[in-house]
């Protein structure tokens, strides 16, 4: 089995890792055009525990969140790119527009989001805190945004 898991595989593997005493770290996102801000977030997230699982928005959920022109890369390619990173232990694709249900299923110890989120806005915070976990906000690396990259490309091509 590789690093890209189905939802049921993720639940099983993460459960076994937790039983071994491993600290599970969870983050999520679209990760459409991987950039330095994403790499920074993932590196910092990995420092928070033993196992980093990245929940990746499916193509249909990205379209609902970002509009019909996104994603740029299909979910399988985005998953492969994330799985190739040494700090990412597992990737699981989810269909919903928020990660609430998958957080509920995987029960991570640490929920990590980027600094563009305020702690009271983090989806799943209530769940993670209810089982004694914590939410960690990684400071935002300014100047890195997929939306800004797309806009830059459009200006060059225009």
The CATH code of the domain that includes 16 is 3.40.50.620
Domain that holds residue 126: 4-157
pLDDT tens, residue order, the chain (158 aa): 699 999 999 999 999 999 999 999 999 999 988 888 899 999 999 999 999 999 999 999 999 998 898 899 999 999 999 999 999 999 999 999 999 999 999 999 999 999 887 888 999 999 999 999 999 999 876 666 655 655 666 677 66
Helix and strand element counts for the chain (H, E): 7, 6
Residues 88/66, Cβ–Cβ less than 8 Å: no
β-sheet bridge partners, residue 92: 5, 55
- The domain tally of the chain equals 1
pTM: 0.90
Residues 70/62, Cβ–Cβ less than 8 Å: yes
Tell whether the torsion through CA atoms of 89, 93, 96 and 101 is positive or negative.
negative
Q: What is the DSSP code (8-state) at residue 119?
A: G
């Amino acid at each position: 089995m590789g690093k890209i898991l189905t939802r049921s595989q993720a639940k099983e593997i993460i459960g076994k890792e937790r039983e071994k005493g491993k600290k599970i770290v969870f983050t999520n996102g679209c990760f459409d055009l991987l950039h330095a801000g994403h790499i920074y977030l993932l590196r910092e997230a990995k420092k928070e525990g033993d196992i980093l699982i990245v929940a990746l928005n499916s193509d249909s959920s990205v379209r609902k969140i970002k509009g019909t022109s996104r994603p740029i890369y299909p979910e399988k390619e985005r998953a492969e790119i994330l799985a190739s990173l040494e700090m990412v232990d597992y990737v699981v694709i989810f269909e919903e527009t928020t990660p609430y249900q998958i957080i509920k299923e995987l029960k991570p110890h640490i929920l990590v989001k980027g600094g563009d989120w305020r702690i009271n806005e983090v989806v799943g915070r209530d769940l993670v805190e209810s089982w004694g976990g914590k939410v960690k906000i990684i400071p935002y690396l300014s100047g890195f945004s997929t939306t800004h990259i797309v806009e830059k490309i459009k200006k060059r091509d225009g």
